[in-house]
Amino acid sequence: MSVNAIEPADAQPVAQTQNSELIYRLEDRPPLPQTLFAACQHLLAMFVAVITPALLICQALGLPAQDTQHIISMSLFASGVASIIQIKAWGPVGSGLLSIQGTSFNFVAPLIMGGTALKTGGADVPTMMAALFGTLMLASCTEMVLSRILHLARRIITPLVSGVVVMIIGLSLIQVGANLHRRRLCRHERQHLWRTEKPAAGRRRPGHYYPAESAA
């Protein structure tokens, strides 16, 4: 004769709790394939987030390719140094957590506006970049000082205020991306018109420049 065991009332909640737990806890070490896959994901996400603001600013300001490469290299180097300081926690500086520091999207629109104003005023590329970098250095020092007393401003900087600021940042990035897309479309349209309006061989219009054609 079989006896049916009576399950306790809390058996199902315990099973649901166990099923909802994390696969790997804080001190666990995943296998090597999962570790490498997660590391590649984080590396790609961090790399794109670091170089994208620099690319947006350089393309919007029309900087040469050499200057663009230099600024991207500076962004990657600064991100590595800042991440080491943040992870190691040198006294009151740093959090001691795996917090990767990268370039911020908050300053993309102001930098583009400032660079455009300097460029319109007749400043060359070295003068424009020197003014922008100097402004960033002063702004970073101000931000570090304000970070020590930022907790006192929680009554003023409410979630509503911070949400509006984040929305404005997103809208400014949409404007920057739309302008870059418009310039690319205009460039593509001009190239298409040049190909369609190009006369046949031997028929040259006076006053027009035609690049040399490669010999077959």
Spans in the chain with pLDDT lower than 50: 1-3, 9-17, 209, 213-216
pTM of the model: 0.61
Angle at 97 between CA 91 and CA 102, to 5 degrees: 100
In a domain, 17, yes or no: no
Three-class DSSP category at 99 = coil
Total count of domains within the chain: 1
What's residue 161's pLDDT? 84
**Residue 173: which domain range?**
158-197
Specify if 173 maps to a domain: yes
Question: DSSP readout, 145-161?
Answer: HHHTSGGGGTTTS-HHH
| Contact (CB, 8 A) for 43 and 92 | no
- How many whole angstroms separate alpha carbon 51 and alpha carbon 44? 11
d(CA 42, CA 76): 15
Render the burial of 67-89: b for 16+ CB within 10 Å, e for the rest.
ebeebbeebbeebeebbeebeee
pLDDT of residue 204: 54
Q: Residue 64: inside a domain, yes or no?
A: no
**Predicted local distance difference test score (pLDDT) of residue 206:** 52
pLDDT of residue 198: 54
**CB neighbours of 103 closer than 8 A, spacing ≥ 6?**
49, 50, 51, 52, 53, 54, 75, 78, 79
Please report whether residue 202 resides in a domain: no
pLDDT reported for residue 101: 85
Residue 44 falls inside a structural domain: no
Residue 45 lies in a domain: no
